[in-house]
Amino acid sequence: MTSNITELIGVYDADSTLLGEVSYWVSARLGITHCSLCEITHGLFTKKSEWKQCAESFTVPFHLFHRDDAPHDVISTLAGEFPAVLQRTTEGLKIILTKEELEHFDGRTSDFADWITDHLSPA
């Protein structure tokens, strides 16, 4: 049962600094780098309006971080495996979507949101 989930956390495979953001954007356009979570939540320059609406509809907060600004316990749990989505429960942190699993959404925000909604639904 997932009723003890207090928070969902997504961590991008990118840095939060201006240089990090620009570097990621350019590298992604050139096919050098790729972050499947970025593709789910962001369009070409900003967060997708579809993502904003979906995130507001979840029954728990969904916080997004970059690999350089995520909380220490999140970074420790991920052990360098970015991007990923975790859930925080009363028992601690658990990875619920790995890099490979995020790839399956192929940037489709609605499919990702449906998966999250199903995950949050009581069994």
The CATH number of the domain holding residue 73 is 3.40.30
Mapped onto helix, strand or coil, the DSSP state of residue 2 is coil
- Over its length of 123 residues, how does the chain's per-residue pLDDT go in tens digits? 445 999 999 999 988 766 666 676 666 666 767 789 989 998 777 888 999 998 999 999 999 999 999 999 999 999 999 999 999 999 999 999 999 999 999 999 999 999 999 999 876
**Both structure tokens of 80:** 């360098």
Q: How many domains does the chain have?
A: 1
- Segments forming the whole domain that contains residue 111: 5-120
From the list 38, 65, 60, 33, the residue with the least C-alpha distance to 51 is 38
Q: Count other C-beta atoms under 10 Å from residue 41's C-beta.
A: 23
Residue 78 host element (H or E): helix 72-78
Q: How far is CA 26 from the centre of its chain?
A: 20
Q: Rounded CA gap, 56 and 8, in Å?
A: 12
